[in-house]
Structure 1
Amino acid sequence: MSIYRFRRPNIEDLDLLNGWLQKPHMSEWWDVESVYTADKLDQPHVVIRVVEARGFPFALMQDYDVHAQEGHHFAHLPPGSRGLDQFIGEPAMLGLSHGPAFIAQRMAELFADGAPVLAVDPHPDNTRAIAAYRKVGFGVTGDPLMTEWGMILPMEAAR
């Protein structure tokens, strides 16, 4: 049994999520100017989860329908495929291999639920994220690409 639990955030979590966005380590790779609101927590094509380790909330992970937005860079993937985004908000939890561990656990859940392919899109210079994704089975599937969310390196993992 894993130590990670993925739970849906609620209104009481907004301060926690937005506080994480203000942490100094977040600004390098995440859009820290975006703010989590009640509306963002309840999007029809995005499943947001607070990641807890032994009851301690420390990260956010979301998966989304890659076909929900016209022209998305992963729209070529088969129906049921999901895109993933995540971050560790608590600085004390960085560098302890939690990222690959909770990503792998969530991947297993999504594959068990029928997702044929999972995709991630780290910035091409984010070598730590790329290494973590490779560790859990993602492979680079194309050249770096400029998208409306910035530069990405497309990576995919199949069931």
Structure 2
Amino acid sequence: MTATYTFRPMTAADLPLIRRWLGEAHVREWWGDPDEQLALVGVDLIEPAMDQFIVLAGDKPFGYLQCYRLTAWNSGFGPQPEGTRGIDQFIGEGDMIAHGHGSAFIRQFVDEQFRSGLPRMVTDPDPLNARALRAYEKAGFIRDRMVETPDGPALLMVREP
């Protein structure tokens, strides 16, 4: 995948698009109730420790990415280097799945964060979400250990600069 992606800061005007994506079966399977998740995403628009982005391929919006300071949440990830951030993401447009976009845009985003001095990026996918695990591994993350999060058991994955 040689595409270049744009990460446009999300605004309240994007909430209808996010709502549509959250309602897609492939997103709902791992993100849960669309209304509940939309409320959380909406509140996070004013959370200073959370950055939210609409991911675009060319001029086509197709995904969502959130990047957050670990110190703002009780993540259950254990000690991490100061400044470590976490990410979560999904591809909302079904026709963009299984084409390598997930791992490619994750890698591009994390590489940009490392160039800005970020010491480590972590993520915590559901250990049964094989598609997410593959995407994160292809983006350079390694499996660290199982952790208990507020959402249940998760696989902590880590990427270093």
TM-score higher than 0.5 here? yes
Q: Is the 8 A contact 2:142 2:158 kept in 1?
A: yes
* Cα shift at 1:138: 0.7
The Cα RMSD (Å) is: 1.6
Q: Displacement of 1:147 after TM fit?
A: 1.6
Relative to total residues, which structure has the larger helix share, 1 or 2?
Answer: 2
Aligned position for 2:154: 152
Whether 1:108 aligns to 2:111 is yes
Structure 2 gaps of 5+ residues are none
Alignment match, 1:3 = 4
Instruction: Check the 8 A contact 1:80/1:115 in 2, yes or no.
Output: yes
The answer (yes or no) to whether the contact 1:67–1:75 under 8 Å persists in 2 is no
Cα shift readout 1:51-103 (whole Å, capped 9, x = no counterpart): 0011110000111001112x422351111111010000011111110000100
Determine the C-alpha separation between the residues in 1 that align with 2:24 and 2:143: 29
Counterpart CA distance in 1 for 2:89 and 2:113 is 15
TM-score under structure 2 normalisation?
0.91
How many pairs were matched up? 157
Whole-angstrom CA distance in 2 between matches of 1:73 and 1:111: 23
Secondary structure of the residue aligned to 2:80 is coil
Distance 2:44 2:20 in 1: 16
TM-score (norm 1): 0.92
Deviations 1:20-70 (A, max 9, x none): 10111112111333214653222110100000011110000111001112x
Task: Supply the AA of the counterpart residue of 2:9.
Answer: R
After the TM superposition, list the runs of 4 or more consecutive aligned residues in structure 1 that deviate by more than 3 angstroms. 36-39
The percent of aligned pairs where both chains have the same amino acid is 38
Contact 2:77/2:147 (8 A) holds in 1: no
Point out where structure 1 has 5 or more consecutive residues left out of the alignment: none
Distance in structure 1 (CA, Å) of the matches to 2:77 and 2:86: 8
